[in-house]
Each structure stands twice: as structure tokens, then as C-alpha cells.
Chain A
Amino acid sequence: MDNVRSFCIIAHIDHGKSTLADRLIQFCGGVEERDFRDQILDSMDIERERGITIKSNTVTLSYTAKNGETYQLNLIDTPGHVDFSHEVRRSLMSCEGALLLVDASQGVEAQTVANMYLAIEHNLELVPVINKIDLPAADVERVKEEIEEDLGLDAEHAILCSAKKGIGIEGVLEAIVARLPAPTGDPKAPLQALIFDAQYDPYRGAVLLVRVMQGTLRPGQRLVLMHTEIEHELEEVGLLQLKKVKVPKLEAGSVGYVIAGIRSVSDINVGDTITDADNPAEKPLPGYKEAKPVVFSSVYPMSTEEYPELVKALEKLKLNDAALTYEKDSSAALGFGFRCGFLGLLHLEVVQERLRREYDLSLILSAPSVRYRVTTTDGNTTWVDNPSYFPNPAEIERTEEPFIKAAVMMPERYVGAVMELCRERRGEKTTFTYLAVGRVELTSEMPLAEVVFDFNDRLKSTTQGYGSFDYEMLDYRDTDLVKVDILVNAEPVDALSQLVHRDRARMRALHYCERLEDTIPRQQFKIAIQGAIGGEIVARKTINAYRKDVTAKCYGGDISRKRKLLEKQKKGKKRMKMVGSVEIPQSAFVAVLKTDREK
């Protein structure tokens, strides 16, 4: 165990996190040259393309240090967004230390700071690494100063490297070995293994990524997942060395995988503790939270013919995405679809993107909603996350919405702006405390509905990226909820209906009308777009008819070209939804759901 080091890499986007990971893997011979590809730990296209990590991943490397000893290094790659903060926290819990990577020309950036706070919270040992020292614009001395001043870390022993050029990689590895602590734990103690993520394997089912805290995992053991209380027989344990490498056991301090006949990732919960049924631990590891969807949206195929494919695609996605929920739904405007639950908006985007990309589905999503509690005059209480099921206002006794406690960490200078942002978002009991000199934690009790949409984006822009944000659920509180409907030429577009606080309803209705005005192409007749609250029209926009198109000559030569052009335009018609007599493009549904921050 003394020769094990488990660590993650903390960095601002583009500071070279993936490249450094790639180099460490290559240096340790973790991958054959011919199997290597950039960003090797990010397996999903969407991760590689957007430069974000959605699923945690891990790789165990074997490194022979200058002192002659061979070490087992566990590099844990973590997601970086509040939607997945649960996974991030579990991943950090699995590490003893972190490399804090800073670009030698860009210096310390917001995200570096925000992520560092999270690492400090988990008591990780930090090693500053200055990357891209080969760049002409590199200014190592300045960056060192920033590390000392902005991060409060000792920069004197910062490691210098260029991951891209492969310079200084050994220095990084030596620092990991010398400066990060070895794990603690007792292989003989009752088993406690933390599930920090899970992957789906079509042949083996769920493959759990675990960090063994205490005890030992051995195939044949009867395992209990302490929170879900489900028993499984342990089939196989191993190390992830980019591919799965089976080992006889995993002892305290190890990071590896577990296969135990669990059908899908949905059957387990990240953060759960695995123990031995015959010699159970007294209690599970702390910090467990069930991944519950908080944002709901209906997903419809653009073309009704694609519905069966959507069914299949969701079933498959669900195998690898425990947090995603879905049930049948239908819309007068859009036909059959599914009501889906997500961890947050990024999660929603990721699912949408994967459906589009991996399953080639063209989708329309309804306005996202949180889950409200509605008590009707007959005394019944129901949960409503779909505006279609919102009762008649006359029959509503009381509406309640979920509140959360938001915790924002940021440099002191942004406190004023962030307090204003919280007030705007109906935040209550907003207070702040100094965590250290110049560093502030602000807490505020806010309606979840105000947070899930674009709070994180707004926070990032308000604090120029230096603010980090996390939240926990509090309770349900009374609210004044109304349903905003959007009508296009007097036809309601149910997929655009939304439940909104009364104070916000008028603005939201107007915003929707404006967005539709911008995105519905002009048609041969005038289109009226109206926003209504309980039947009362509160916003209205008009799209004038188009009266003239470009009617170039149509003599011999132009015919093929023109036909092809118009055929292409006509194909676009298939991507339109008819609402009454109006063609609404998919892009309009998408645009409406975009945040209104630029307005």
C-alpha cells in the first residue's frame, strides 16, 4: 500500500489536462503506441469534442521511480460540472492528492481556483504543475507568483513541464511518488469500497469503478451495496489499465473495477459503499446521495416515425446513465414522446446530444421544469413536473416548489454581484462567510427552478469564472405558480407551456414570443404569437407574411440547380412541426429554451 498513489488532475479548460494524462500514460507504457489516441481517457465523442469529461474514468499505471521502487499510480479523471458534482465528489474522495495544472502563458484561471477549493475541501495534497513551458509566451516566474498569491500554494517546488512536447513528465511522476501521500486503510478490516462511477459493458453489465477504503475485495465474496441493500456475488475484480486487467484481489488503497452480475448502471448508485455480506462494515462511507433527477423535460422525435428508435435509444442510454429517468408522454402538437428526468441542464444537453449523435435522432425538447407539489381544493396533493398535468387554477389550494441551499465559493471581490444575482433569483437568507483571506463562501436558499436553468452560467459570467457552485436540496415551500401557454395563430403549443412563478410569468411569456418571432420563418400569411397566463393574453408578437422571394430566371440552365436548391428547402419542411397551419422549425423549439441572459 505504501507504493500506491491515487490522484486526479485539476486544471482550467485548455490548460492541457488531457494531454498531460496522455503523456503520463505513455511514459509508464500504459498503452501500446498503435493503440494510442489523444484524450485517451475521454471515450465518448461528445467528451472529446467539447473537451469536457462527463463520466469518470481511471487508469492504473506502473511506474518505477528513481529510487528503484515500483509504484502503482491511479489516475482518476473526473467530470467538471455542477450537474455531475456528485460524481466529482466521489472521485475526489478516492484520491489522496491532485496535480494542479496551470498553463505557463495563461496563468491561474478561474476554474483552477474553483476546482482547487473542491480539492481542499476533500483534504487532497496539491502539487502545482506548470505546463506548456515551451511556449514562447510562457512566463514561469509570473505564474509562480500567481500560484503563491491567488492559490496560496508554495510554488517554489512547482513542477515544470510541457505535456505536448513530453518535457518534464518524469519530474511530474517523481513528484507524485514523493509528495503525495500513500493511502491508509487496513486490508484486514471489514470491507468498505466506494463506488465512484460505473460503466456499462454490453457483455458484463455494470462495471463499477471503486476505491477500496478498508478491507479486501475477492471474487466469490457475497457483496452488499449498503444503501440499496442489494446482494451480489463478486465475479471479478481488476485494474483499469485502459483495458480491464483481472487481478486476484483488490486491497485497501486500491482503485479498480468490480463486476458482480449487476445488469445495468441504473441498478446501482454512485457513492454507495460495497461491503462483505459475511463480515459487514459498521456503517457506509459518508457523503452518499441518491442521484435524483431534478429537471424534467419531454423529449419528442422530430418525425413521428422515429418514435420506436427513440424508445430503443433511451433504453440503451439508461443502461449507462443511472441518473436518467423516462416515462411515456404525449403532446397534441408533437405526438408521442417521453418525459425525462435529468440531473441538470448539462445532463439534459448531454443526453440530447448523445441521442442525436449516437442514435441519429432529431429531437424536440419541451421547456424544462422542476417538480412541484400541488394541493387541490379537494385536499389531494400531487407532484407535477409536466405543465400538461397542472390542475385548473380554480381548483388549486396551494402550490409548493423545491428549495435548495446554494453554496457559492468565490474571491471576495464578487460578493456584491453574486448577492444581487441571488436576490434576482428569489434567494432568501443570503449570507456569506470568509473562508480565508479574500475567499468567501456565500449561501442562499433559492427555488430550484431559479437555479437549474442558467444559474451556473450566470454565476460564471458574474464572477468571470472564479465562482464555484454547489447545492443541496432543502424542502418544499409555498409558491405562487402559474402556467404560461404559448399560442401560435391561436393554437396552443403544449410543448412550450411552462410552470413559472407569477412574478416571472409575464417576462417569460414575452421572452418566448420574442424567441419564436426570431426563429419561425416568415410564411405566406401573417402569424400571431401569443403568450397567455390562464387564458389571459399577456404578450404578443407578429410575424408578417413574406411577400417576395428571389425569383431568378428559370431558363434552360437554371432548372437543375434550382430544383436541387428547392428540393433541399423542401427537405427542411420535414424538420418542421405543423402547429395548426404554421410550420415551426425545430430550431425554434431549441431557441426558446435557450437562456435569456443576453436579453
Chain B
Amino acid sequence: MIIREVKPAGLYIHVPFCSSVCPYCDFAVTIAGADRRSAYLDALDREVAGSADHGLRFDTVYFGGGTPSSLAPDQLARILATINARLDLAPDATRHIEINPDDVSRAAAAAWRELDFTFASLGVQSFSDEVLGFLGRRHGAADARRAAGTLLEAGFTTVSVDLIFGLPGQTADDWRRQLETVLELGVHHLSCYQLTIHDGTVFGRRHALGELRELDEDGQADLYLMTHEILGGAGWEGYEVSNFAAGADHRSRHNRKYWDHTPYLGLGPSAHSFVGRRRWWNQRKSRLWTAAIEEDRSPIEGRETLSDAELFFEAVMLGLRTADGIDRDALQRRFGDEVAAFDEPAVERLAESGHLLVDGARIRPSSKGMAVAEGLVRTVLP
């Protein structure tokens, strides 16, 4: 007998291919030719087929990467067909795809819509040619605007753009123009990420050599708070540390699952899965993942079973990154008073300092609080 999870789960498909590797990126990506793509598709088919016994029902499916839009529409169709055949995907599931501006054409947009993708995340990164050059992106600002327009015309329910902020030397004016462009374009959603320099990337090396410096913390804070201010002024909500939506309907239903412990299944290299209190993740390297599946071995690289304390820690850590915050009563019901304990004086202090909004059992971060979300969890827990 298969026991169904009550909450509909999320399905994530990792498409590791990129046509070039961005100098700041530390995701699992690869530049590979047709052979590797074909091997990937075969392996993915097998992984999908082997995942039926989780007994999950999915109401979101998310193609992330890498660059999912670099797959041809018939390749995407093939993946979706396998999913539909093998897994329990709700007919009205939200289909979410990450798209590179380079790959956008009227025909491509129409093809994606044909496959019922309704949520498009466009990897714009910046609306400034200079910044795009610095970030090593192949598209220009005009391409990005055009791509957004094309996706809107094609009838995606939600068009989101990704922007990076906090670039070395970035000014408030520059960032304001970026945000104004987002509003002018009429898109519905913004994911904005602070530039983080990771070891092992081109930027990491340049940073080590002293060629590159992140924007200082005050600068980062100013830009971040400005984002809340400008988008908030336009009626948007910052519903998660990095995510803003033009209305509750445009929030990402899929990503929410990562933040509230809804089950999700991740397929493809480096993808993470979470069910109940178990989390596991696939081989990060595309080659190892493919080889494992081809040789009938498990592609799983690591797994963990979370204790109540760890689940609680995550619930607070993730909850305090979202505008909805956390419900202390609910957490105490879920984990018991012993585990779900808070440093009450610290909570009070953060409420006083305007980082937290305390409303009965619910604690929500203000925008000022979201700016320091990492520190909040450490502070509010005993």
C-alpha cells in the first residue's frame, strides 16, 4: 500500500547545461555537447521512472538549472511526458521554468506555453550593459527587455526576472533604475540576489587576488532596503528575503515548499529532496550522476535524517526569511515546548529594534529584519 503525503509535493528537475559558465556562479552546471545532453535525458527518464514509489502527488514542477531553456522544446516535452507517465502530477500543477534571455524568441515562448509552463523566471541579472559585461553574461540589456516583453505577450501567468545587486561600486541610483525598469516592464515577480563571491569561481579567484571587492555592508543594506521601499511603494510585497511579487497570486508556489517543509523531490544532478524528516541529494557532478544511473547505481550522494531539533531550527531559519514569519504556537504544537524554545528577551529586543514584528504567537521579520535574516535565527533561539 502506498501512503500518500497529505500536502501536495513539489517536483524539481535540474538541467545542468549552460552555454557558458558565469564567473560568479557556483551551481552545478556544465557546458556539454549533444552527446551529453542525450545521455542526460536518458538518465533523467530512468531517474523519473525509479521515483514513483515515493508516493508523492505533485502540484508544482520546476525546471531549474543550469539553463533549462537551453533544452529544445521537444526535449522538455519528453521529460514532461515521462513525468506524466510515471509520477502523479496534478493536471493543474504550476509549471515553472528558468529561462535565459538568449533563448527567448516568439517561437520558443509559444512552445513553452504549449507545454503549459505558466511561471517563467528570466535570468536577466541586470538591465545595464556594463554590468552584464562584468557578470560575463552573453545577452545585452536590450535583449533582456525584449525577452521579458516576449514572455509577457506569450501569456505566462507570472513572469519573473532575476537581478543581482550589490555589485562592486554599485550606486543607489543604478539600482533604482534597475527596479524602475522591472516596474515599467510590467513583469510580476522579482528574485534579487546579493552578489556573493564564492571560492572556486572566477570571481572567487579575482577576489583572492584583490581585484574584486564586494560592496560594503552599509551599501548592501541601503540597496536592499531600497528594494523593499520602491517595490513596496508600487504595491509589491517582499514575501521572502530574495523574492518580491506584484501580488500574492504571483508568489512562487514551488519555492514556498522549500521554506515550509512541504515534501519535494529533486531529480537530476545536485538536486535535493525532502520527505518527512529525510533529506537526500544527488551527485553534484553531472558526469557522476549520469554514470551512476547508467550503471544502475543510486545517484544519491548524501542523505540525512533530521531530528526534531534540526527540523525546528530549519523551520525558524526558513520562516524568518519569509514575510509570513513563524507561528510559535504552531511550532510548539509540532515540536513540543522542550524543542520549540525561544530566547524571549532576545525576541523582545528585536521587536524593540524594529527587526521583528510580534503579533501574538506570530513573529514576522520587517524588511530591516529580512536584511539580517541569517543573524535572526541565532538571536531568537536560546
Contact = CB atoms under 8 A, between A and B. Distances in A.
Interface of A: 524-525, 545-557, 559-560, 562-563, 566-567, 569-570, 572-573, 581
B372 A570 contact: no
A547 B378 contact: no
Contacts of A545: 353
Interface residues of B, number: 47
Given A551-B241, A551-B242, A557 B374 contact: no
Contacts of A547: 217-218, 220-221, 368, 371-372
A183 to B, nearest CB: 63
Given A550-B374, A557-B272, A559-B258, 19 more contacts: A524-B375, A547-B220, A547-B221, A548-B371, A549-B375, A551-B371, A553-B193, A556-B12, A556-B258, A556-B264, A556-B272, A556-B273, A559-B272, A559-B279, A560-B281, A560-B304, A563-B310, A566-B313, A569-B378
A556 B271 contact: yes
14 contacts: A524-B355, A546-B372, A547-B368, A548-B221, A548-B372, A551-B370, A553-B193, A555-B64, A557-B271, A557-B272, A559-B314, A560-B272, A567-B313, A570-B313
Contacts of B264: 556
Contacts of A525: 349, 353
Contacts of B274: 556, 559
B55 interface: no
A549 B353 CA distance: 17
B217 A548 contact: yes
B317 A566 contact: yes
A549 B314 contact: no
A491 to B, nearest CB: 13
Given A524-B350, A524-B379, A525-B349, A554 B313 contact: no
B163 interface: no
Nearest to B322: A554
A479 to B, nearest CB: 42
The 7 closest A-B pairs by CB, nearest first: A547-B221, A548-B221, A556-B272, A549-B374, A548-B220, A570-B378, A557-B272
Contact of A557 (B241, B270, B368): B270
Nearest to B368: A547
B284 to A, nearest CB: 9
Nearest to A562: B317
A549 B375 CA distance: 7
Nearest to B376: A524
B270 to A, nearest CB: 6
Contacts of B58: none
Contacts of A559: 258, 272, 274, 279, 314, 318
Contact of B321 (A524, A548, A554, A560): A554
B250 to A, nearest CB: 18
Nearest to B378: A570
A550 B266 contact: no
Nearest to A563: B314
B321 A551 contact: yes
A548 B313 CA distance: 21
B224 A548 contact: yes
B345 interface: yes
B196 A550 contact: yes
A224 B349 CA distance: 65
A546 B271 contact: no
A570 B309 CA distance: 13
Contacts of A562: 317
B272 A553 contact: no
Interface in B133-154: none
A551 B313 contact: no
A542 B276 CA distance: 47
B194 A551 contact: yes
Interface string B266-298: 100011111000010100000000000000000
Contacts of B349: 524-525, 581
A573 B379 CA distance: 8
Contacts of B372: 524, 546-549
Contacts of B370: 551
A573 B279 contact: no
Contacts of B378: 566, 569-570, 572-573
Contacts of B242: 551, 553-554
Given A524-B375, A548-B372, A555 B221 contact: no
A551 B272 contact: no
Contacts of B345: 581
Contacts of A548: 194, 217-218, 220-221, 224, 371-372
Interface in B168-204: 193-194, 196
Given A548-B224, A569-B378, A573-B378, A560 B196 contact: no
A28 to B, nearest CB: 54
B323 to A, nearest CB: 14
Interface in B27-80: 64
A563 B317 contact: yes
A551 B372 CA distance: 8
B109 interface: no
Contacts of A546: 217, 372, 375
B259 interface: yes
Contacts of B258: 554-556, 559
Nearest to A552: B196
A465 B357 CA distance: 60
Interface string B1-35: 00000000000100000000000000000000000
B157 interface: no
Nearest to B191: A553
B124 interface: no
B140 to A, nearest CB: 25
B269 to A, nearest CB: 11
Nearest to A568: B378
A566 B316 CA distance: 11
Contacts of B374: 549-551, 566, 569
B381 interface: yes
Contacts of A552: 193-194, 196
Contacts of B350: 524
Given A547-B372, A551-B194, A563-B314, A570 B355 contact: no
A581 B349 CA distance: 8
Q: Of residues A524, A560, A581, which shows the largest number of chain B Cβ atoms within 10 Å of its Cβ?
A: A524
A552 B242 CA distance: 8
B373 interface: yes
A525 B348 CA distance: 13
Contact of B353 (A524, A553, A566): A524
B87 interface: no
B128 interface: no
A589 to B, nearest CB: 20
Contact of B259 (A549, A554, A581): A554
A112 B193 CA distance: 61
B255 interface: yes
B253 to A, nearest CB: 14
Nearest to B352: A525
B231 interface: no
B202 to A, nearest CB: 18
A551 B218 contact: no
A548 B218 CA distance: 7
B68 to A, nearest CB: 14
Q: Of residues B271, B310, B345, B374, which shows the largest number of chain A Cβ atoms within 10 Å of its Cβ?
A: B374
Contacts of A563: 310, 313-314, 317
B381 A570 contact: yes
A569 B355 CA distance: 19
A563 B12 CA distance: 21
A215 to B, nearest CB: 66
B326 interface: no
B377 interface: yes
Interface in B207-252: 217-218, 220-221, 224, 241-242
A559 B379 CA distance: 19
B318 A554 contact: yes
A390 B142 CA distance: 74
A61 to B, nearest CB: 54
